[in-house]
C-alpha cells in the first residue's frame, strides 16, 4: 500500500518532503570514466571487448553495424498491426513536431544596424535505445522523428543486442523515423563511441535517449564534448482527480508508470478521502492481474503516495513542488487548475486523457524532464536538434551613433583592443 497523506495534518510538510525526496542511485561515475578512457584509447577493440563481456554477444568490427538486409528482415518479423500502429504514431509525432519549427527573423533599427537570427540543424545526432525489458519502439520515434524534422542528416542509433537479439519493432521504428545507421552496442561504451568516435563509428554532435545508470553517468561525463538531451531519472506520474472519476481508471493511470521500474513514482491528489480509498483498493486489484506486478507493486509500495487535500485548488502548490514528469488533471474543469500550475513536463487534461496516450500515439514528445527538473527544463522538441545563431550588420551610421558608448564600456573593462577596433571606424564616411 502506498503512503496516505492528509494535507491538513500537522506533520504534513515533513511527510510530503519525505515522499518527494528520492534516493540517488549508486554512484557509477568512476566506472563510466574508466570505460570512456579505455574506448578513447583503443577504439573498436575496447567497444567490441566490452560489448562481448556485458551483452554476451560475439561481435567483430565488421558486424558492429546492422546492414539493410538485417533491418528489412527484422521488419518482416513484425505483425501488420504493430507496423500499422507505428505508422500512425510516426505520422502524428511528425505533424506535431513540424509545427515547432522556428522561423528566422531580422530587422533594421534606427541606427541602420540590421539584427536577427537564423536556425540551423545539427549535423549529426546519436540515439541511445535501451535493450532487454526496456526496449521501447515508441522512444525511437520520439527521439528520431524530431531530429529528422529539424533537418539533421545523420542519426546514428546504438542499441544493445543482449544475447544477440534486438527487438524487431525497434528496428522497424528506426527505419520509419529516418535513422541512418544502427549499431548493436550499448552501455557506457556505446555513449563513449558516439561522443569520441571509433574506427567504425564516427563521432556525433549530440546524444539523446534514455538508459541505465551507467548510460546516464557516461552522458554526464561526455557532456561538453557533445551535447546531451538530459540525464533521465525514474518515470513519474501525478494524478489530480475529483470523486467523479472511475477509480479503476485512475488506478490504471497510476500503475501505467509504476510498471516501468521499481524506482518509478505514482502519486494521487484528491479532495475526497473515500474516493482515495476506492482508488487504493482498485490499485491492489489491478496489480494482481499485471504481468509486471512485481515491479509495479514494489514501485507503488515504496514510492507511491495518496494525498488528500481540503479542496482541489490546494493541489497547485503541491504540484509545483513535485514538478512531475507527467501530470494528469482529471477534474470537471481541468483548465481551472491548469491556470494555477507552473511546473510539469507534460500535462494531460480531462478524464479521457490518460498519460499513456502521450507515450505512444497522440503526438507530443514523451521524452520529459524527471526528478523535479521540470522546474527549469522542458521535454524534447525540434529545438533540441537545432542551433540559433545571431546575425548583426552595422554600417558607418551605426558605428557613429552607438560606437562611442561601446568604446566607453570597453575602456571601463580595461579592454583597449576592443575599444580601438571600434574607434578605428568612427567618423568613417557612409
The residues annotated as belonging to the active site are 325-326
CB atoms within 10 A of CB 334: 18
Are residues 64 and 44 in contact, defined by beta-carbon separation less than 8 angstroms? yes
Rg (CA), the chain: 26
- For 159, 166, 209, 258, 423, the CA distances from 171, given in Å and listed in that order, are 10, 8, 15, 26, 60
C-alpha to C-alpha distance for 145 and 208, rounded to whole angstroms:
12
C-alpha to C-alpha distance for 258 and 287, rounded to whole angstroms:
10
- For 4, 19, 265, the CA distances from 268, given in Å and listed in that order, are 10, 12, 10
- For 6, 254, 272, 340, the CA distances from 245, given in Å and listed in that order, are 20, 13, 11, 21
In the three-class reduction of DSSP (H, G, I as helix; E, B as strand; rest coil), residue 176 is classed as: helix
* Torsion sign (Cα): 317, 320, 325, 328: positive
C-alpha to C-alpha distance for 258 and 79, rounded to whole angstroms:
27
Query: With 0-12 CB in 10 A as exposed, 13-18 as middle and 19+ as buried, what is 321?
Result: middle
The residue whose grid cell reads 481541468 is: 334
C-alpha to C-alpha distance for 354 and 339, rounded to whole angstroms:
20
Are residues 234 and 298 in contact, defined by beta-carbon separation less than 8 angstroms? no
Amino acid at each position: 500500500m502506498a503512503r496516505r497523506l492528509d494535507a491538513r495534518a500537522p506533520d504534513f510538510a515533513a511527510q510530503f518532503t519525505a515522499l518527494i525526496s528520492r534516493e540517488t542511485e549508486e554512484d557509477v561515475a568512476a566506472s563510466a570514466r574508466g570505460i570512456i578512457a579505455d574506448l578513447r584509447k583503443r577504439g573498436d577493440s575496447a567497444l567490441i571487448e566490452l560489448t562481448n563481456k556485458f551483452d554476451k554477444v560475439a561481435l567483430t568490427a565488421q558486424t558492429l553495424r546492422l546492414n539493410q538486409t538485417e533491418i528489412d528482415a527484422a521488419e518482416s518479423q513484425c505483425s501488420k498491426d504493430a507496423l500499422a500502429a507505428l505508422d500512425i504514431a510516426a505520422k502524428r509525432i511528425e505533424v506535431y513536431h513540424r509545427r515547432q519549427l522556428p522561423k528566422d527573423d531580422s530587422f533594421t533599427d534606427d541606427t541602420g544596424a540590421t539584427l536577427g537570427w537564423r536556425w540551423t540543424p545539427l549535423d549529426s545526432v546519436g540515439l541511445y535505445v535501451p535493450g532487454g525489458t526496456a526496449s521501447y519502439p515508441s522512444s525511437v520515434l520520439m527521439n528520431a522523428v524530431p531530429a529528422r524534422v529539424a533537418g539533421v542528416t545523420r542519426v546514428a542509433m546504438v542499441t544493445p543486442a543482449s544475447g544477440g537479439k534486438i527487438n524487431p519493432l525497434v528496428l522497424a521504428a528506426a527505419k520509419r523515423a529516418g535513422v541512418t545507421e544502427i549499431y548493436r552496442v550499448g552501455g557506457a561504451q556505446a555513449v563513449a563511441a558516439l561522443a569520441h568516435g571509433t574506427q567504425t563509428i564516427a563521432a556525433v554532435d549530440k546524444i539523446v535517449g534514455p538508459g541505465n545508470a551507467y548510460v546516464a553517468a557516461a552522458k554526464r561525463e561526455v557532456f561538453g564534448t557533445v551535447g546531451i538531451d538530459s540525464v533521465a531519472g525514474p518515470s513519474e506520474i501525478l494524478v489530480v482527480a475529483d470523486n467523479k472519476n472511475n477509480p479503476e481508471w485512475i488506478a490504471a493511470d497510476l500503475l501505467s508508470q509504476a510498471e516501468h521500474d521499481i524506482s518509478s513514482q505514482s502519486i494521487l491528489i484528491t479532495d475526497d478521502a473515500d474516493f482515495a480509498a476506492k482508488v487504493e483498493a482498485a490499485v491492489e486489484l489491478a496489480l494482481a492481474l499485471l504481468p509486471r506486478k512485481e515491479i509495479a507493486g514494489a514501485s507503488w509500495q515504496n514510492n507511491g503516495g495518496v494525498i488528500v487535500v481540503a479542496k482541489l485548488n490546494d493541489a497547485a502548490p503541491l504540484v509545483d513542488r513535485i514538478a512531475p514528469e507527467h501530470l494528469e488533471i482529471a477534474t470537471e474543469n481541468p483548465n481551472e487548475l491548469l491556470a494555477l500550475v507552473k511546473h510539469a513536463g507534460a500535462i494531460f487534461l480531462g478524464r479521457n486523457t490518460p498519460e499513456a496516450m502521450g507515450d505512444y500515439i497522440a503526438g507530443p514528445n514523451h521524452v520529459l524532464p524527471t526528478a523535479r527538473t521540470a522546474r527549469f527544463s522542458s521535454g524534447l522538441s525540434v529545438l533540441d536538434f537545432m542551433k540559433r545563431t545571431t546575425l548583426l550588420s552595422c554600417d558607418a551610421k551605426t558605428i557613429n551613433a552607438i560606437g562611442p558608448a561601446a568604446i566607453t564600456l570597453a575602456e571601463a573593462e580595461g579592454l583597449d583592443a576592443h575599444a580601438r577596433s571600434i574607434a578605428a571606424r568612427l567618423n568613417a564616411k557612409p
